[in-house]
Amino acid sequence: MKAFIENKILFPKYLGFMPYFWVFSLILMSGQLLSSESTLNLLNILLVIIFLKFYHDGYLLHRFIFVDIVIQLVIATYFTQSFPSTGGPLFFIYTAWQIGSLPFSRKRFLRFYFLYLITILFCTLDKIIQIPFTLHNFFGIVIVLTFTFGSPLASRSLGNSYRRGYRMQQNNRRLETIIKQNERDRIAKDLHDNIGQSFSIITLKAELATKLIEKQPQNALQQLKDITKTSREDLNLVRKIVANLNEKTIASAMIEEEKNLSIANIRQISINEQTSNDWPKNIQPQIARTS
Task: Answer whether residue 46 is part of any domain.
Answer: yes
pLDDT at 138 over 80: no
Decide if 85 is inside a domain.
yes
Q: Is the pLDDT of residue 37 over 80?
A: no
In a domain, 211, yes or no: no
Structural domains counted in the chain: 1
Average pLDDT of 162-181?
76
Q: Quick one: what percent of the chain has pLDDT higher than 90?
A: 15
pTM above threshold 0.75: no
Calculate mean pLDDT across residues 106-113: 92
- In this predicted structure, what is the pLDDT of residue 66? 92
Range of 74's domain?
Answer: 8-130
pLDDT of res. 137: 67
Binned at pLDDT 50, 70 and 90, residue 55 comes out as very high
Q: Is residue 76 part of a domain?
A: yes
- CB neighbour list of residue 273: distance below 8 Å, 6 or more residues apart: 250, 251, 254
Q: How far apart are CA 58 and CA 113, in angstroms?
A: 15
Lowest mean per-residue pLDDT among 43-52, 107-116, 250-259: 250-259
Judge whether 61 lies within some domain: yes
pLDDT band at 164 (very low <50, low <70, confident <90, very high): confident
pLDDT of residue 272: 64
Would residue 26 count as lying in a domain?
yes
Instruction: With respect to residue 229, please indicate whether it lies within any of the assigned structural domains.
Output: no
Burial per residue of 4-19, b for 16 or more beta-carbon CB atoms within 10 angstroms, e otherwise: eeeeeeebeeebeebb
Average pLDDT on 87-109 reads: 88
What percentage of the chain exceeds 70 in pLDDT? 80
Using one digit for the tens of pLDDT, what is the confidence trace for 211-227?
777 777 777 777 777 77
List the end-to-end C-alpha distance of the chain, in Å, as a whole number.
50
| In-domain check, residue 60 | yes
Name the CA dihedral angle for 70, 80, 90, 36, rounded to a multiple of 10 degrees: -130
Q: Are 155 and 97 in contact (CB under 8 A)?
A: yes
